[in-house]
Structure 1
Amino acid sequence: MKLKHYILVLLLVFLGNDLKAQLLTSPPPVPSGHPRVFITPQDLPELRDKRNHPDFRGIWSQIRNNGQPIAQALTYLLEGDERKGRAAIDGAYNALRKTTSNGLRLMNEVFLGACVYDWCYPLMSNTQKQNFIREFSRIHNLHPPYWPATGGHGTIVSHNTSGWFFNQLPAGLAIYDEDPKVWNRASKLFFDEFQEVRNFAFKSHLSHQGWYVSTRTSHMVLAGFLFNKMSGGKDVWVDDFEQMGYMLAYFMRSDGQIMRLGDTKNDSWAYEFHNIFLDGLANYYNNPYIASLSDHPLFKSYNSLRDDLFGKFLLRPVDLGRKSLESLPKTKYFPEPVGGEMVARTGWSVTNRNADEAIVNMRIGQYYFGGHQHKDFGTFQIYYKGNLTGDSGMYGGSRSRFSSTYWKDYYRSTTAHNGLIIMNPNEKYSGGGWTNTRVDGGMRWPLNNDVQPDDMNALLNPRNGYEYANIIAHEFGSDTQTPEYSYISGDLTKGYNYSNKANPDKVSKVTRSMVTYNTSDEDHPAVFVVFDRVVSTNASFKKAFLLHSMGKPSISGNQATLNAKNGYAGKLVSYTILPEKPRINIAPGHSIGRTTYDPGTKSDRAYEDMQFRIEVSPSQASKEDFFLHSMIVMDKGVEPPLATQIRADQLVGVKTLDHVTMFNKETTLLSDASFHLDGEAEKTFKVLMADVMPGEWIVERDGTFVSSAIATEQGKSIYFETQPGEIHIRLISSAPSAMEK
């Protein structure tokens, strides 16, 4: 009972009583007659008019002159050409008969066959109807959740939850008059088990399946249209679902590739099905930004007549406009429970590899959902004229496919990302299922085994260990359109300790704070600062800060230089500020300890092999250690600026260019702090002071008032300008009114 109460409270916080009341939460009545799959009789006059609209005349000409069954069926429905209707029935049935194991796929033979069945219903004989139903059943009984759909096969990730389930909704609706139990089972299962957990995840504006967002989420877009038509305009998804389209926009690199997101296959600019996903969201929410992105050649090159029939004609509003991505804020925060991360950009180019634009992904994360997700909580990626540092590993190679040894042992591990390692030599993994047996010192597996959560209860149950991290603070500003700073901080402790105590706790506290500065400096357009507090339960546990590189880094003292490869012109210079006497080693990529994993070969023209990894460790063993790094992006040949430590009793900080970043050594929030800032007398510095109590603050220099600042509950930081001297900040009011900007 306590667990159920906990889950209910959590859901109410995320979804809200008012919003939840507006959603369709039970199966709507099935309309009598046909058509009813994505089209109602009331839609037909508007669709017929749309054929002659200037924006749709071209795509309609392609549809009516195409010989695919789905195109012939729509032509029959709108123009009454029975010859094409009968050809559509024969073609769809023949496609079904040839299908052996394609129930997973988006817009597959079952999906398209359901549309043909419904749209050409008046032309179908009883024998033809039974033939279609028999093939629907045969195909779906090859794989869970079977036909009609049954529960108990998982509702969050895995193929059971994609086409094998969602395609039963249009099929069940089409054949409802002949066999109502298919629709009744599938629609009940949707509202009982599928809807809630997806709306919970949609609050993040980010898919836990990463690059697979389109193949996993397009089914849900189409289901939203289906229920919306049936219910007279009600939604089954929370409004946050619209924001999922911005995921691809913000993670898109200047060269047209995407920042790595879990298992990623886009090394050759592969965006199969992303066009369906983007078109669907743009159409459903009438979103001009997502529509503009979906029109981009990167996605249009994957379009097919099937995709365009739905995305560019049938489901597209007549008044859908376009707006350039340039008018979007350059930083976006993706909330928990999937996100808890930021992407900070300095520009919006997506097809110019030489653009003077930096993109930084700063991830904390919260829940592990499984599937194609990695143990990449508390990590970062940096792009500037090349992939300067980020996720390591290959996916889809001859020896690195899903569930391969390489995939299990290395690719998903913390070691393959820019994370933190805390090595307990006695830690062990169970090795069951998809779990690797080699411990890398990174984040654990849920329940010491890669057991994916079957449902909402399993995901939220603290005993199962699917919660890895929590956000402490996040904020960007002070201009929200083109932020000078983008800041995020999180607690990663849960990700290193086992909820079921399969291994003893190895840490008492792990936090990571990250900030990206848009410097507006032509030579050094972005600065990235990352600060880690690590307290282990045993001083002998080796700790390491990881930084991956395609080429071999050059190390000089506390400075590491990473150059882009594959003809890219970018460079990253990283300064280790803390620990003060670091051990900086270079390890080979694709390795854990002394074991190197072979990903095999891959033919992709743009595979980016992170062949090396920098490991920064303290020179002396201690339970408590701090890591502080300042990194600057620039072109090859440009000299880096210095990054210098700022020392204070309770603070740690670094000065890079005219940016100063200060953190509290402790995990508590400050109400008063002081530090000395060196520099040219008249030079103005921009200071981000993190880890402060929410409220109104006073900034003083050499005892003289400089400015006031507001720290919000969300940001727990203040941002101000000052000249060198003795800087003192103090909280003067923590009243609620002072916490709103």
Structure 2
Amino acid sequence: MKKYLIYGCLFAILYSCSKDAIVENDDSGKTLNGGGTNNNIVVPTEHPRLLLRMHDMSAIRENMRSVEAENAVREHALLLADSFDGNFPDKGSGEANYEGKKLATIESKAFDYLFNNNTVNGEKALQAIKNVFNTVSFTGLSDVSRALGHVIFTASEVYDWCYPLLTAEDKTFIIDNCIELAKNMEIGWPPVNQGAITSHAGEAQLMRDLMSFAIAVYDENQDYLEMTMGRYLSEFVQPRNYWYQSFTHHQGSAYGAYRMIWDAWGQWIAYRLNGGKPLNEDFRYAMYNWIYLRRPDLQLFREGDDSFENRSRTVTWGVNDSKAQSRSNTHVGTASWLIGNFYKDGVLKNEARFYDPGNNIFVYENATRTPVQFFLFNAPDVSISPSSTLPLVKYSPSPYGGMIARSGWDNTPLSEDVVVFMKIGELSGGNHHHQDAGNFQIFYKGILASESGFYDGYGTLHQLNYQKATVAHNCLLIHHPGEVFGPNGAQANDGGQNLIKSEADDYTSWTKGSFNRAKVLAHQYSATNMKTDYAYIKGDLTQAYTRKVSKVSEVLRSMLFVPTGKRDFPALFVVFDKVSANNASYKKTFLLHCQEEPSLINAQTVAIRNTKAGYNGMLVDQVLLPADATITKIGGTGQDVSSNRFWVAGTNYLPRSFGKYSEDKSEIEFGWGRLEICPESSRATDYFFNVMYVKDADKSLSVQKAELVETEDFAGAKIFDNVLLFAKTARPSVREFTVEIPGEDKELNIIVAGVEEGHWIITAGGKDISVNASTEGGLLNFKAPAGNLLFKRSSSTGI
């Protein structure tokens, strides 16, 4: 009884809040005020109003006649010819009979009635959905809310599109049965359960299924719209518009795209209802993130829980198989298609074509993309724009804070391009988000600096203790022996980043500070769509390591990517860290993960190869700081406990059913394990300086030595014809300093990161060089000879 009283109170609060967002409109019903642009959503009293209005029908007919729609027209005809009458066969107790494709036959028949006045098919659709309610079973389905909602959504289409055919008894029957199904959904009925930031509430339940129901039955009960779209506008829109400022999604490479599908459905439903756009324009550009996440092997950089991995390998590196240059449908393809068509964006339409080049892949369960939905949403008049028109570097601002940089747009298995993923990670999204502030990944002819572990399910021992933890990423560990991870210390102490709570309930709780992880201090890049000179980002990660205990006073990370233009050594990647622990005895560790066992070349140098499935990449890492660094390999091969691949605090946390997965035939990147780089002596403050470059694995080339260049205020390296220097402090602290560059080089490419913004004069080789540092970047880039360099910040406005 107490549970229902709580729900009742929650609903009363929700109802009073949403009343402010929904106001009467004398002409057409009600106006809902969302959080984006053009967001006064007027609820019309006419039918149809779900996913289309009468004035949309001519454009939809034109779409149906387009070349792009040819396969959808054929598939639609097959669905119309299906004799399914809504009676799902009884499969016995304990077995579900729900089948999404059968619901698509009902959708097609309802659509045929709406567009062609085919009363026979309209009556069939109506009778079929009533039969579905009487015969469908969901017993044993995981995440059953998705199937329940799909039935509600289909019933809503029938209700709205076939409205003239409905009797009073039909209306009551459909409404009552939809509500009964909704009561069994996670979000509940009234839909007041779960948070508004993430979780399954951020999927179809509210933003497609229940909003569709409320719109369809608005004439019979206007309160349902208050309960559904009212909650959407008052709770869901603000946090989404806030996050989409970063042009990413906080749930990562897999779940992020999936959740964007549902944000797109909410946007489409509101827009087709009466022109509202609750989500702002940043939503469109957030989808570009997956273009940048895609590696030249057509896979994505792994971020967060990734459910895409366990599928057959379709690309063999080094083999230019044209058939492999597209992917079967994934959530990325569907999200790109929905959003690309909404904004008439040629780049996103091109991305959708990458996943479905023939417009002939239809999805009938969960994140549906049916022939009818193709007719409703596809925009055939959009000109395609290739991703190669985009800049080679993408910066993702707050609240994400990260950068993806590449040396080219050649996404083929013969690519010579280098791609680097750099994440500061300002705000945690919880849920499928990992404890990975400061993470980086490197791809060159194979993933070299990778993540490791595998998403074997939500809340498993492997996921909580390894795959989701900091230890499975290219991050820093600071081990406080008394730190507690998880409820009552149920999770292993990996020395990584900790969370107070796994998910936020609403925008206020999400942004009040508990989920803060880091802060971008500086960022700058020089790139076009043809060439990248450099890409730099610096962040303060201290908060990520101080959520439950005060084990550090400062954690800084700077990352710099520099393509070299050298065929044998095409790119440099440098990571400079400062870690100040509150106790010198707390062990500090720099992590570097790999897919194959690394080779220790000497006490300060390690080589990582990736030669599986034809890959031919190598990463060479030279550890310049700490001077007393020790390098330890932790990992192994095989699928038993002795492999030590997922080793944390004395336990090897194997994924569930580990032995059933084929590492050779699938794209899973379990990883060999990791390198741990630690100072041998205990100090309160340590600097880590790792200088990395990439090369072909099959080329026997000597190590290209990196020389340490260090002053009291800066640490840097000279390698090839580059000198790369980093400030040791979070904020610029000096306006004049000197650096001695070893050698006799006549011209070097010099990058100095972490200086005060403004005009600088550098005296080198008897000449003055004038350079400006931006407020956002605090970086100087210029050419100069080796020798003594004097840096002075000028009071003038500069060049």
Q: TM-score, normalization: structure 2?
A: 0.83
**Matches of 1:280 and 1:125, distance apart in 2:** 34
Q: Deviations over 1:703-734 (max 9, x none)?
A: 411x3222111111111112222122221147
Amino acid at match of 1:597: Y
Cross-structure match for 1:564:
610
1:653 aligns with 2:653: no
Structure 2 counterpart SS, 1:475: strand
Instruction: Report the CA distance between 1:271 and its aligned residue.
Output: 5.3
**Matches of 1:79 and 1:301, distance apart in 2:** 23
Deviating more after overlay: 204-213 vs 639-648? 639-648
Instruction: Report the CA distance between 1:642 and its aligned residue.
Output: 2.1
**Matches of 1:185 and 1:713, distance apart in 2:** 46
Amino acid at match of 1:445: L
Cross-structure match for 2:201:
160
Structure 2 counterpart SS, 1:487: strand
Structure 1 counterpart SS, 2:79: coil
Amino acid at match of 2:622: Y
Describe how 1:406-445 pairs up with structure 2 within 5 A.
406-431=462-487, 436-445=490-499
Structure 2 counterpart SS, 1:154: coil
**Matches of 2:712 and 2:36, distance apart in 1:** 53
Amino acid at match of 2:536: Y
Instruction: Report the CA distance between 1:79 and its aligned residue.
Output: 1.7
Structure 1 counterpart SS, 2:382: coil
Cross-structure match for 2:505:
454
Cross-structure match for 2:256:
213
Q: Say if 1:643 and 1:483 are closer, same or farther in 2 by CA, change over 3 A.
A: same
Q: Say if 1:643 and 1:112 are closer, same or farther in 2 by CA, change over 3 A.
A: farther
1:244 aligns with 2:286: yes
Deviating more after overlay: 35-44 vs 422-431? 422-431
Q: Say if 1:428 and 1:179 are closer, same or farther in 2 by CA, change over 3 A.
A: same
Q: Say if 1:128 and 1:275 are closer, same or farther in 2 by CA, change over 3 A.
A: farther
Note if contact 2:156-2:213 (Cα within 8 Å) is conserved in structure 1.
yes
Q: Deviations over 1:292-324 (max 9, x none)?
A: 010014686853375153664311234211011
Describe how 1:619-658 pairs up with structure 2 within 5 A.
619-638=680-699, 639=701, 640-658=703-721
Q: Say if 1:610 and 1:734 are closer, same or farther in 2 by CA, change over 3 A.
A: farther
**Matches of 2:426 and 2:774, distance apart in 1:** 22
Cross-structure match for 2:542:
493
**Matches of 1:230 and 1:418, distance apart in 2:** 46
**Matches of 1:650 and 1:303, distance apart in 2:** 59
Q: Say if 1:309 and 1:196 are closer, same or farther in 2 by CA, change over 3 A.
A: same
Structure 2 stretches of 5 or more lacking a match? Answer: 1-32, 81-104, 313-327, 636-644
Note if contact 1:106-1:163 (Cα within 8 Å) is conserved in structure 2.
no
Q: Deviations over 1:185-209 (max 9, x none)?
A: 1121112111111111111111111
Cross-structure match for 1:225:
268
Match of 1:533 among 554, 578, 581: 578
Q: Say if 1:206 and 1:133 are closer, same or farther in 2 by CA, change over 3 A.
A: same
Q: Say if 1:365 and 1:281 are closer, same or farther in 2 by CA, change over 3 A.
A: same
Note if contact 1:489-1:513 (Cα within 8 Å) is conserved in structure 2.
yes
Note if contact 2:557-2:578 (Cα within 8 Å) is conserved in structure 1.
yes
Q: Deviations over 1:54-88 (max 9, x none)?
A: 44455334324433222222222222222222223
Instruction: Report the CA distance between 1:173 and its aligned residue.
Output: 0.2
Instruction: Report the CA distance between 1:275 and its aligned residue.
Output: 2.3
1:304 aligns with 2:360: no
Q: Say if 1:703 and 1:586 are closer, same or farther in 2 by CA, change over 3 A.
A: same
Deviating more after overlay: 511-520 vs 718-727? 718-727
Cross-structure match for 2:628:
581
Q: Deviations over 1:333-380 (max 9, x none)?
A: 11121x201111122244x33321111100001111211010000110
Structure 2 counterpart SS, 1:229: helix
Describe how 1:148-547 pairs up with structure 2 within 5 A.
148-150=190-192, 153-166=194-207, 167-210=209-252, 211-231=254-274, 233-267=275-309, 268=311, 272-297=330-355, 303-304=362-363, 307-309=369-371, 312-337=374-399, 339-350=400-411, 352-396=412-456, 401-431=457-487, 436-446=490-500, 450-462=501-513, 465-477=514-526, 479=528, 482-498=531-547, 502-503=548-549, 505-547=550-592
**Matches of 1:524 and 1:21, distance apart in 2:** 49
Would you say how many aligned residue pairs link Structure 1 and Structure 2? Answer: 697
**Matches of 1:244 and 1:558, distance apart in 2:** 40
1:43 aligns with 2:56: yes
Structure 1 counterpart SS, 2:792: strand
Q: CA RMSD in A?
A: 2.4
Deviating more after overlay: 130-139 vs 553-562? 130-139
Cross-structure match for 2:120:
83
Structure 1 counterpart SS, 2:145: coil
**Matches of 2:329 and 2:71, distance apart in 1:** 24
Instruction: Report the CA distance between 1:542 and its aligned residue.
Output: 0.7
Structure 2 counterpart SS, 1:484: strand
Structure 1 counterpart SS, 2:146: coil
**Matches of 1:163 and 1:179, distance apart in 2:** 21
Note if contact 1:415-1:442 (Cα within 8 Å) is conserved in structure 2.
yes
Q: Say if 1:86 and 1:564 are closer, same or farther in 2 by CA, change over 3 A.
A: same
**Matches of 1:704 and 1:99, distance apart in 2:** 81
Cross-structure match for 2:8:
none
**Matches of 1:533 and 1:631, distance apart in 2:** 18
Structure 2 counterpart SS, 1:203: helix
1:717 aligns with 2:779: yes
Instruction: Report the CA distance between 1:89 and its aligned residue.
Output: 2.5
Instruction: Report the CA distance between 1:575 and its aligned residue.
Output: 0.6
Describe how 1:694-709 pairs up with structure 2 within 5 A.
694-705=757-768, 707-709=769-771
Instruction: Report the CA distance between 1:649 and its aligned residue.
Output: 3.2
**Matches of 2:148 and 2:748, distance apart in 1:** 53
Structure 2 counterpart SS, 1:103: helix
Cross-structure match for 1:672:
736
1:23 aligns with 2:74: no
Cross-structure match for 1:690:
753
Q: Deviations over 1:523-575 (max 9, x none)?
A: 22221100000111111111010001121111122110011142211111111
Amino acid at match of 2:186: P
Note if contact 2:462-2:654 (Cα within 8 Å) is conserved in structure 1.
yes
Instruction: Report the CA distance between 1:506 and its aligned residue.
Output: 0.9
Q: Say if 1:608 and 1:354 are closer, same or farther in 2 by CA, change over 3 A.
A: farther
Cross-structure match for 1:614:
675
**Matches of 2:479 and 2:532, distance apart in 1:** 37
**Matches of 1:21 and 1:457, distance apart in 2:** 15
- Percent of residue pairs bearing the same amino acid type: 27
**Matches of 1:733 and 1:29, distance apart in 2:** 57
Instruction: Report the CA distance between 1:171 and its aligned residue.
Output: 1.1
Q: Say if 1:106 and 1:323 are closer, same or farther in 2 by CA, change over 3 A.
A: farther
**Matches of 1:298 and 1:680, distance apart in 2:** 55
Note if contact 1:93-1:132 (Cα within 8 Å) is conserved in structure 2.
yes
Deviating more after overlay: 644-653 vs 266-275? 266-275
Match of 2:45 among 8, 32, 54: 32
Q: Say if 1:289 and 1:480 are closer, same or farther in 2 by CA, change over 3 A.
A: closer
**Matches of 2:360 and 2:302, distance apart in 1:** 21
